[in-house]
Amino acid sequence: MTTGPGSEPRRSRGLLWLVVLLALAAAGTLWGASALVWAEQVFRGPFGNEVPVELRGADLRAELVPMALASLAAVAAVLATGSWLRRAVGALVVVAGAVLAWRSVQLLTGAAPVSSAPGAPPGSTPVGEVTAQLPGPLLVLLAALLLVVAGVLVLVRGGRMPAMGAKYSAPGTAKRASHDPDRQMWQDLDAGRDPTDDRPR
């Protein structure tokens, strides 16, 4: 099957936006997981009364919201960088996804009692084991998978993805013309020029 002259730039740009969507979805998933109830812990108050307390994702995994913000920052980094720097960002995203997966599996495989919680009575102590609920950790596992896939795509295909920050590069850099007519056409379109205009640039 034959593809048109602009098919590779279109595929590369589509791959870039796929990475962006994966990272944005991971950020939203992490944010939602931080607000869900992950577990329940019974606390015994100073007068012997026992109170069940719901533990949300942000209570058990303080890194969830910062990791959601880091995923958004990764979107900007992937869009603005290129070459080896973009691949370094991809490697960091893969590591972050792996760490998130490991941390959420810790709770699924048996969490230790927590010493305090926002809803626990003052001066109370935890009693028994944490009763885990699956949706929160599973959401984090999903977010971790999304980040790993996005990071691997950047590592493997990052060099073929366009750098959105290239159009804002220094004027001397922007004036360099490519000897490849297809590539020159895309450079002209990115710069807002008419590629069919034969006047000297």
Tell me: the pLDDT tens digits for 107-156? 666 655 566 667 777 777 777 777 778 888 899 999 999 999 999 999 88
pLDDT in tens, 7-24: 555 557 788 889 999 999
Residue 67 covered by a domain:
yes
Considering the domain architecture, whether residues 15 and 99 belong to the same structural domain is answered as yes
CATH of the domain at 118: 1.20.140
Q: CA dist 25 to 142, 187, 191, 192, Å?
A: 10, 30, 30, 31
Q: How far apart are CA 201 and CA 194, in angstroms?
A: 11
**With the C-alpha atoms ordered 10, 13, 14, 15, is the resulting torsion angle positive or negative?**
positive
Phi-psi region of 192 (alpha: psi -120 to 50; beta: other; left: phi over 0): left
What pTM was estimated for this model as a whole? Answer: 0.68
Considering the domain architecture, whether residues 76 and 140 belong to the same structural domain is answered as yes
* Res. 73: pLDDT tops 70: yes
Considering the domain architecture, whether residues 76 and 148 belong to the same structural domain is answered as yes
Considering the domain architecture, whether residues 160 and 173 belong to the same structural domain is answered as no
Residue 3 covered by a domain:
no
Residue 4 covered by a domain:
no
Q: How far apart are CA 24 and CA 115, in angstroms?
A: 33
Domain ranges, residue 182: 169-201
The structural domain count of the chain equals: 2
